[in-house]
A = this chain, B = another copy of it.
Amino acid sequence: MIDLILKNYQDKINMRLDMFLAQTDKNYKDVVEASRYSLLAGGKRIRPILLLEFYKLCGGNDECAYNFACAIEMIHTYSLIHDDLPCMDNDDMRRGKPSNHIKFGESMALLAGDSLLTESFGVAARTVGIDQGLVVKALGILSANAGINGMIGGQVIDTLYDAPITEELLNEICLLKTGALIKIACSCGAVLAGANDEDIKKAELYAEKIGLAFQIVDDILDNTANEQKLGKPVGSDNRNEKTTMVGLLGLEECRKRARELTDEAICILDSFSADSTTLKELTKYLLVRDY
């Protein structure tokens, strides 16, 4: 059931991403091709789906939120392209394919990342059918959480501190680097639907729980998964000498924490007055996903 719901969302999101970053025959077509290569490489679209589901949970009932949903996915994709660059993690593979700079060269990968980031705000700003004040508010959340005090801050800490690092610092990295985009998804969904402050706060708290769970499950998969499904070498974070949750706490403790965080997240969903069945299914799915 959840698979079908996800597939339906993914189709709609992919169709729009394909349209927002349409092919061109301009002299700068190469950067469009490079951007599309990573954007349309078949991610799970978890972040945009979370946004759309929170938008519905808080009373939104139409297609207006797809622009923002796609904007988050564009930001997510830019961050992957830049993180893979030689001066960062220097990763050659991503989602089972050569990473962007391997395929298109370093300068084009840099510019493709810059393009996706820049265009994401334009796509979000072209939201129609939602109060423009709410759109501006959500754009502020998008920038704040993708920026220095959010995702980029997490990437900076990840870059600066050599392993081994403390659990506290690793938690901070997770909350910022992985958690920030999930927080954008949940809180922008609520904000765009015109939710009250209490519901926005609950959306943020839910996002913190599953952001952390998401990173822990990622670490578990990185240690245990089938390489083909993972799309990159198993254990690559260990070989990069990064401290991971699994390295710090062990597999069993990680599985326990991921379950606990998932349970707490579901409790938060229960406190909303509207029906959250799909979101609960999605939350459970994130715990048991296999890539």
Which residues on A are within 8 Å of B, measured CB to CB? 21, 26-28, 30-32, 35, 82, 85, 87-88, 105-108, 110-111, 113-115, 117-123, 125-127, 132-133, 135-137, 139-140, 142-144, 146-149, 152-157, 159-161, 169, 172, 176
Contact = CB atoms under 8 A, between A and B. Distances in A.
A143 B159 contact: no
24 contacts: A21-B148, A26-B149, A26-B153, A27-B169, A28-B176, A31-B153, A35-B148, A87-B106, A88-B110, A108-B156, A108-B159, A114-B152, A117-B117, A117-B118, A118-B143, A118-B147, A119-B148, A120-B143, A121-B142, A122-B140, A122-B142, A125-B140, A125-B143, A127-B136
A85 B110 contact: yes
B32 A115 contact: no
A143 B115 CA distance: 9
Given A87-B107, A125-B139, A133-B132, A115 B28 contact: no
Nearest to A126: B140
A237 to B, nearest CB: 17
